Amino acid sequence: MSTVKIPPVLRQAVGGERTVEVTGETVGEVLTNLCDQHPAVGSQILTPDGELHKYVNVYVNDEDARLLQWTDTPVGEGDTLMILPAMAGGER
Amino acid sequence: MSPSYQDLLATAREVIPEVEPSEVAPRVEAGDGPLIIDVRETAEWDQGHLPGAVHIPRGFLESRVAGATSGTDQELLISCASGQRSLLAAKTLADMGYTNVTNLAGGFARWKQNNYPVEVPRILSPAQRSRYSRHVLIPEVGEEGQLKLLDSKALLIGAGGLGSPAAYYLAAAGVGTIGLVDDDEVDESNLQRQIIHTTERVGMNKGESAKEAIRALNPEVQVNVHPFRVNRDNVLDLLEEYDVVVDGADNFPTRYLLADASLMTRTPLVHASILRFEGHASVFNPYDGPCYRCLFPEPPPPDLAPSCGEAGVLGVLCGVMGNVQATEAIKVLLGIGDTLSGRLLIYDALGMTFTELKVRRDPDCPSCGPNADLQLRDYEAWCAGVGSHDHVGATA
Ligand SMILES: [Zn+2]
């Protein structure tokens, strides 16, 4: 069970929660399970082929998952995944 | 009988060699002279001193000398106004175990009479010393740092949610020149967070409004109002004029434009973005650490990146993040501390947590990588394009 931190723009898609507990042994499994539980998340962060969009960063604890083993990165109890799209604002 | 002043001087002369200005001047000029410690009072030092000298007023000599020297065997030349105070100071240092101490014969007066070069320190005026006294007290800032801030120029993109607190605090801190780029006018709905504006100034250009507030706070600050949008035709000229750029933009085209342009002009970029209860901040030092595109290669589509105007923002969040930016800008300008370069700070106001993520420089970065073809593009079209492609709902 890992903790997934949900960015503000995706919170509505998970019922307003800031964090969600998700099972899975790897980053890929966790994200797949998250999108299964909350299809609205999947429609935002995944391409039609089920790949993560390039504009979505995923961090395992404080490290960019792409610099680890990407979706094969093992995760477990106590690990935190953060889904992080860029934020535009600012507020002129 | 206790020794008289003359006795003390005579005793000191027995152990401290005196050096004539003519003996040491060529070495000072060549940059291989001894470490010169000037023990006069601050008011005397401010009138001028030997080039490269360090100032330790006589009353602080014993407590500060260790911090100014590399060891008790370092070659030291002590100077004062006429060579007497320094002689006694040199004797004290010899008593403290310094083995290579000499005294400047005739002191600064004889040095000056012989027309050897003199350095006159730039100093804060009495009014500045009072205004910035809490900065001057901080060892990492001090008078030297404050003078640096007064000589510095910061450009703020946007005088809105982030720019309001950032500009206000940078002006209070005495950053000498502040540029404000904003084509927008103050609206009543801005006042919930854009604290540099006022109800009376609704309808005024935001840069002009901020300039009024800054003038009231610190009239010494030069404010340049740039009442237009930053675009690829004006961005390089703008950045060239400033030492640091603070990004408080409200849209991706401007953010990616600034990211690329700041690489071209080698201007450090202090980044923050905000939404609802959440803030991001980082520092991007050109070609020294990651850039914005190393972190976010592409912008998300509009529905994943609503503006604060669409999705809302807690007013006070702007204060926190704008002041994180002001803090980082000051550190960049002074060259002190560890900035957020290589780190993304995430502030969650609802949970009251600060999280840090590591940001690495991407060797394949399309902006700062070795094979990057960096040129300013049509960022509006590019952001619209990358944001819309293959964005169709699908689950894993
Ligand atoms: Zn880069």
The pLDDT tens digits for B309-365 are 888 999 999 999 999 999 999 999 999 999 999 999 999 999 999 999 999 999 999
CATH code of A40's domain: 3.10.20.30
- As a dihedral over the C-alpha atoms of residue B224, residue B230, residue B232, residue B237, rounded to 10 degrees, the angle is 10
Q: What is the mean pLDDT of residues B62-91?
A: 95
Domain assignment present for residue B260? The answer is: yes
**Residues of B in Cβ contact (< 8 Å) with A32:** 396
B255 touches chain A (CB under 8 A): yes
CB nearest B308 (choices: A7, A36, A91): A91
Number of domains in chain B: 2
Residue whose entry in the numeric block shows the structure tokens 């600012």: A90
With residues binned 3-state (H G I as helix, E B as strand, rest as coil), the percentages for chain B, rounded to 5, are: 40, 15, 40
Taking 60 as the threshold, does the pLDDT of residue A92 lie above it? Answer: no
Nearest partner of B342 among A5, A69, A63, judged by Cα: A63
- Residues of B with CB below 8 A from A64's CB? 357-360
Q: CA B25 to CA A91: how far, in whole Å?
A: 59
Residue B28: CATH number of its domain:
3.40.250.10
Instruction: With respect to residue B136, please indicate whether it lies within any of the assigned structural domains.
Output: no
Query: Distance from B97 to chain A by nearest Cα, in Å?
Result: 51
Classify B380 as helix, strand or coil: helix
Q: What is the pLDDT of residue B391?
A: 36
B358/A64 CB distance under 8 A? yes
- Estimate the crossing angle of helix B252-264 against helix B379-388, to 10 degrees: 120
Task: State pLDDT tens for residues B351-371.
Answer: 999 999 999 999 999 999 999
Q: Is the pLDDT of residue B307 over 90?
A: no
Give pLDDT, residue A38. Answer: 95
Chain A partners within 8 Å of B250 (Cβ)? 88-92
Higher pLDDT, B121 or B66: B66
Residue-wise pLDDT for B117-170, tens only, equals 999 888 899 999 999 999 999 999 999 999 999 999 999 999 999 999 999 999
Which one-letter amino acid corresponds to residue B111? Answer: W
Domain's final residue, options B64, B84, B113: B113
- Domain assignment of residue A11, yes or no: yes
Query: What is residue A46's DSSP assignment?
Result: B
Whether residue B219 is found in the same domain as residue B339: yes
Whether residues B357 and A84 touch (CB distance < 8 A) is answered with yes
The residue among B65, B84, B113 that closes a domain is B113
pLDDT > 70? residue B388: no
- Nearest-Cα distance to chain B for A88, in Å, is 5
Could you say which of A39, A82, A89 has the minimum Cβ distance to residue B313?
A: A89
> Between residues 370 and 389 of chain B, which touch chain A (CB distance below 8 Å)?
386-387
Cα B375 to averaged position of ligand 1 atoms, centre (Å): 13
Domain of residue B299, residue span: 152-385
- The answer as to whether B118 is a domain residue is no
Which pLDDT belongs to residue B308?
A: 81
pLDDT at A87: 85
What is chain B's mean pLDDT, rounded?
94
Q: Kindly state whether residue A91 falls inside one of the protein's structural domains.
A: no
**Residue A9 located in a structural domain:** yes
User: Residue B158 belongs to a domain with what CATH number?
Assistant: 3.40.50.720
B308 with A90: Cβ contact below 8 A: yes
Q: Report the residue from B249, B358, B391 with minimal CB separation from A90.
A: B249
CB atoms B296 and A57 under 8 Å: yes
Residue B132 lies in a domain: no
| Assembly ipTM | 0.93
Question: What pLDDT is attached to residue B390?
Answer: 41
> Å from B216 to nearest chain A CA?
22
Q: Lowest mean pLDDT of A12-16, B262-266, B392-396, name the range.
A: B392-396
Q: Please give the average per-residue pLDDT across B251-273, as a whole number.
A: 97
Which residues of B have a catalytic role annotated?
308
Contacts of B382 in chain A (CB under 8 A): none
**What distance in Å separates residue A21's CA from the closest CA in chain B?**
17
Mean pLDDT of A82-89: 87
Q: Which residues pair with A63 in a beta bridge?
A: A60
How many domains does chain A divide into?
1
User: Tell me: the pLDDT tens digits for A30-81?
Assistant: 999 999 999 999 999 988 888 888 889 999 999 999 999 999 999 999 999 9
CB contact under 8 A, B184 and A55: no
3-class state of residue B282 by DSSP: strand
Q: What is the pLDDT of residue A90?
A: 59
Which residue from A minimizes the CA distance to B248? A90
Domain that holds residue A15: 2-85
B243 touching A (Cβ < 8 Å): no
Residue B122 lies in a domain: no
Q: What is the pLDDT of residue B231?
A: 96
Interface of B with A in 172-201 (CB under 8 A): 182, 184, 193-194
Percent of chain B with pLDDT over 70: 97
Q: Quick check: A90 and B193 CB within 8 A?
A: no
Q: Are residues B188 and B45 in the same domain?
A: no
- What is the Cα–Cα distance from B181 to B285, expressed in whole angstroms? 21
Instruction: Report pLDDT for B394.
Output: 27
> Of B348, B357, B379, B380, which to mutate for an interface test with A (greatest number of A Cβ within 10 Å)?
B357
Please say whether the beta carbons of B313 and B276 come within 8 A.
yes
- Is the Cβ–Cβ distance between B38 and B80 less than 8 Å? yes
List CB contacts (< 8 A) between B182 and chain A: 92
B203, two tokens: 């309808």
